[in-house]
Structure 1
């Protein structure tokens, strides 16, 4: 993988470059390093690798994981918490460094590190038989990347994103989210259906090493997730697309899309959570939330024994203790020492070591998510088969999926079966059970936990009462636009920020999150 990544970054530097003609017929041959990239030997597979890798987080100390995933989404969803006062997720305060982190800056963030390279792959491979499958995979990956951006902010640059080199549109408009979602559905469906088992098997693919059949199941699972995002605002469209993918989504945990990180490649290739929890200003103050730990403890969930560990190394499930959200170490009434039952920071549960290894994988999209979304569709609309069957499949998959983190993170099938026997599916509370389990299954993907909570209202979380919060004590519904856009793209930023229903605030809602 290190060789692949080394080539990849060379490719990034040369993407779209032009070589000047020489004065003699042998000039280029004489003056070109035979190991460097030229238009003749440029390989877009390495940029595809780059987009997949940076989807797991920025190369700069896991910047997006630190701020957008953990500091905002996971904390809002009370999966994690921190006593760092400027973590806005469970304090509902404005912190530009966190809320703007995923969008990024001129040198980092999703638009620079993910959108630009994946758009370059799409443009370079379009119409080239040699790269027919890479082209379709890149279309799917582009949709996945841009979906995460629009889900956080609402209307965003989409149709012209990353196309400055090709279209000379350097100040893209913010496209309406309704139009973005219509194109996401189209792109994912078309690209998935066009994948050809007889075509190329891209060697730079970190998810499946070019396995086209797995990519088809991945594409259909992403299409399912995209469609289900519309349950409140466009239920007929959601049902239409769910029906199209029934029987075509991920079939078991071996289909999970994940990046296997490289411990020897420095901060460029290691697991982003290991980076973040290795930072001195993060690790000492960040813990698993009381809400999350209590849910696992109260239900005798076998995941608790592998996910959580106390400061003394104790992983006994009964001894785990989650830290309540909304506390700091500023000396006021919300100082953590004032929390009920406080006995010391090390008495609160940390994320256990298997999940923080330098080479621990990152799960991008899972079979558990697919089955729980199908269960939701079946319960909600009586389509997609049996809600109970999908629920059982999803819960079992979520409980057992951590075996990829090593033997000390694995939960056996019989433990998952015992959990289901003790907590049988109840259709009368179906949507609550399904989507609470979705929350439990996305511990390390706070983005999706937050998206699904906004879509369904589950789990039913008690908001934090933190002094000076900007939401009137309610959990945020979107992130505000980066202030840098006011100078970088002023006309379009002004129009977009003024068009947000309710204003460009944490309490406003994106298009698909219409109030019930």
Structure 2
């Protein structure tokens, strides 16, 4: 994707995108297409916009900061923070933060992707664009339903087309069934001889790669059902065997660091301190660092460094931070500056904040990639499926997945390259031993991708890794790791007739401790 094109669409996105199915001024936003319509706007631009929004890289993208980093990264003990508003680290509820992904996703992801499908579904010249949009729509909604449970799905984004101004909440069981149907149909319908969508910022219109992506997404969606519908999980794992991503197919969006806030890697903006004190007080959790360190993991000296900043008021990185594996030290979760029994400076591990491990500058480059779905993920999911269902050689998939989860890091930066020999040595030292080991590796991988949404979802599916929860005073979960985000309270006003039944039917209550349909004990 050319820099000029990325800049053009991202600058337009803030003003062009319409409101979604569940926001203030719903009727007005869904009946007035404003700056674009079928006659004056290329639908390729909306694909770019939706892809950028999904990766949290448009406008301020506060949902990435609040949902992925402040909450999911600390739930999963990937990151730790003593900053007071990083509520997820202590299992505290900030309703504005847990609602952020819902608000931004419906307005900046769902609406443009539904527009593409509605505008192009009967136009042969856009055949592949339509199918890619269906796949991206499923990608968007899997994350939404994994975070919240039952959500507006079948009617979402259709206000302009069908005058559905207050969309119903579909049951998650029905959403998952339709996601599998949609991705399966769309993947099969992709045509290598058809159009190559110019607005595709992920694969630049490469239809073969999108096919493999589609098969892999079917695998990930289906494997989420291992507790509630193992037969469906098994059938899709069988169906996609041999068709999933190869090592050359990692799906990521490469950012344009020169384009200002609208095109930057949002993870880098937060972790470099653009939003506050994150540059100095957000560290890798000791749970994550201790795992890498105790297993002589070669990723440690690429993912983490100490001495990245010397002064909380100086956002200039040190030119030579310490990448030595021996120097790395994670910060415990559940600490702050003033709560008795939880004061960070009183912790036995504390010496100084620069001595704790920061996310490596390789991961936080403003023009770096945001990873969406990778070959390593697909192989680890296939290893899980092989072990559960007797489908093929679990050890081979595990070995492939772990090695790729190490060597893929070079795509962040050449300095993050780990040799094939080093990766193979790690695999040899940690031979396949079953589901727990496979899913701990999935946790390491998704944390290294900074995709903590996915790390949290897979943890809830499998129970791995075995994390020790924190028990901060007055937390919202009685000291248990949260299981879902509550619905935005604004829904009680904006969509009351549909919100009420959904709010009242969450297993365990509409709380951080409630559970989505597929999350069983």
| Alignment TM-score > 0.5, same fold | yes
1:303 aligns with 2:307: no
Q: Please, which of 416, 419, 422 is the counterpart of residue 415 of structure 1?
A: 422
Deviation, structure 1 residue 505: 1.2
Aligned to 2:378: 370
Q: 2:191 matched to 1:196? A: yes
Task: Give the match's secondary structure for 2:479.
Answer: coil
CA contact under 8 A between 2:87 and 2:93: conserved in structure 1? yes
Greater mean deviation of Cα atoms: 417-426 or 276-285: 276-285
Asked if 1:163 corresponds to 2:167, the answer is: no
Cα distance in 1 for partners of 2:348, 2:227 equals 38
- Whether contact under 8 Å (1:58, 1:64) holds in the other structure is no
Tell me whether 1:5 sits opposite 2:6 in the alignment: yes
1:217 to 1:454, Cα distance in 2 relative to 1, 3 A: same
Show the 5 A alignment for 1:231-242: 231-242=226-237
Q: Does 1:93 align with 2:101?
A: no
Q: 1:221-232 alignment to 2 at 5 Å?
A: 221-232=216-227
- Pairs within 5 Å for 1:39-438: 39-40=38-39, 42-57=41-56, 59-104=58-103, 109-252=104-247, 254-278=248-272, 279=274, 280-311=276-307, 313-383=321-391, 385-426=392-433, 430-438=434-442
Partner of 2:495: 489
C-alpha separation between the residues in 2 aligned to 1:85 and 1:175?
36
Secondary structure (helix, strand or coil) at the match of 2:169 reads coil
* Contact kept? 1:326, 1:465, Cα under 8 Å: yes
Is 2:38–2:119's contact at 8 Å kept on the other side of the alignment?
Answer: no
**CA separation of 1:502 and 1:4: change in aligned 2, threshold 3 A:** same
CA offsets 1:297-343 (integer angstroms, 9 cap, x no match): 00000000111010251110111000001111235321211222210
Size of the aligned set, in residue pairs, is: 487
Whether the 8 Å CA contact 1:15–1:120 is kept in 2: the answer is no
Q: Judge conservation of contact 2:282–2:358 (CA < 8 Å) in 1.
A: yes
Partner Cα distance (2:242, 2:88) in 1: 37
Q: Distance in 2 between matches of 1:375 and 1:15?
A: 40
Partner Cα distance (1:368, 1:343) in 2:
36
Distance 2:16 2:327 in 1: 54
* Cα distance change on mapping 1:369 and 1:298 into 2, 3 Å: same
Q: Which moved more, 1:388-397 or 1:506-515?
A: 506-515
Q: How far does the alpha carbon of each residue in 1:476-499 deviate from its partner, in whole angstroms, 9 at most, with x for none? A: 111111111111112211111011
- Alignment RMSD: 1.6
TM-score by length of 1: 0.92
Q: 1:260 deviation in Å?
A: 0.6
* TM-aligned CA deviation for residue 14 of structure 1: 6.0
Farther-moved stretch of structure 1 (65-74 vs 86-95) = 86-95
Cα distance in 2 for residues equivalent to 1:37 and 1:342:
55
In the superposition, the TM-score normalised over structure 2's length comes to 0.91
Q: After superposition, what is the alpha-carbon deviation per residue over 1:12-38, rounded to whole angstroms, capped at 9, x for unaligned?
A: 85679xxxxxxxxxxxxxxxxxxx977
Report the alpha carbon displacement of residue 85 of structure 1 after superposing the two structures with TM: 2.5
Check if 1:499 corresponds to 2:505.
yes
Based on CA coordinates, which of the two structures has the bigger radius of gyration? 1
Further displaced range: 500-509 or 447-456: 500-509
| Alpha-carbon contact 2:14-2:59 (below 8 Å) kept | no
Displacement, 1:140?
Answer: 0.3
Q: Secondary structure at the match of 2:85?
A: coil
Residue 39 (structure 1) shift:
4.4
Distance 1:140 1:308 in 2: 34
Cα displacement string for residues 380-407 of structure 1 (whole angstroms, at most 9, x for unaligned residues): 1101x21000000000010011111111
Q: Contact conserved, 2:213 with 2:244, CA < 8 A, in 1?
A: yes
